[in-house]
Amino acid sequence: MKLLLLGPIGSGKGTQAKLICKKYNIPHISTGEIFRWNIENKTSLGKQAQKFVNAGKLVPDSLTNEIVADRLKKEDCQKGFLLDGYPRNIEQAHALDKIVSLDKVILIDLSEDEIIKRLSNRRMCKICRQPTNTEWLVDGKCEKCGGEVYVRDDDKPEIIKVRLETNKVSNEIINFYKDKGIFYKINATNEVEQTFELLDAILKQ
Ligand code: AMP
């Protein structure tokens, strides 16, 4: 099962990706998470990516394509994987196409107003490293593990606007996968569980 989940920032794509990967036992390859881990751990990749990530801009394709290609070569990806956050532009889609054939590409769609609302309320847990929401916190702490939470640097309102522009799922990418006959779309305005049911129905087809 070689999957790609597309969706605007704040669509709940990462949360859905984790649910799919757990159910189907495939690795979750999130370029955003790879970059954040490397930045936190001050690796050489992290140092190269940091200024782009913190400004909400895309990390250059040359660097990003190489990281994904290396990751997809690993043993755990041979039976399948789920890509999340990559490809972000048509050049990356072409680069990916040269190394692997995807089975299904699913777009999780959400309106811009809803995205801004969701991202302004998003918090990250310092302990379990999962996203949460101001409405779910218990005494200001992560509802899952009690850890302290923080706002991602790139979830600040002025950066959200830049990210929305930079991270729009382009029609070019959508058409690229439509032409291959592997493109599906669902709406993400529902609760997490309902969205997952919609996704899973597509995966079972
Ligand atoms: P995300 O968690 O997917 O929102 O990604 C966070 C940040 O990582 C983005 O704003 C970019 O700076 C960087 N990033 C993630 N995926 C890519 C990609 N495919 N190409 C370039 N930059 C990326």
Note the pLDDT tens digit of each residue in 71-110: 999 999 999 999 999 999 999 999 999 999 999 999 999 8
CA–CA gap between residue 42 and residue 26 (Å, rounded): 27
CA 32 to ligand 1 centroid distance, Å:
4
Nearest atom in ligand 1 to the alpha carbon of residue 166 is 10
Domain range summary for the chain, segments of one domain joined by + = 2-26+79-110+168-203
CA 110 to ligand 1 centroid distance, Å:
18
CATH superfamily of 2-26+79-110+168-203: P-loop containing nucleotide triphosphate hydrolases (3.40.50.300)
| Amino acid (1-letter code) at residue 192 | V
Nearest atom in ligand 1 to the alpha carbon of residue 60 is 21
Note the pLDDT tens digit of each residue in 170-190: 899 999 999 999 999 999 888
| Amino acid (1-letter code) at residue 70 | D
| Single pTM value for the model | 0.84
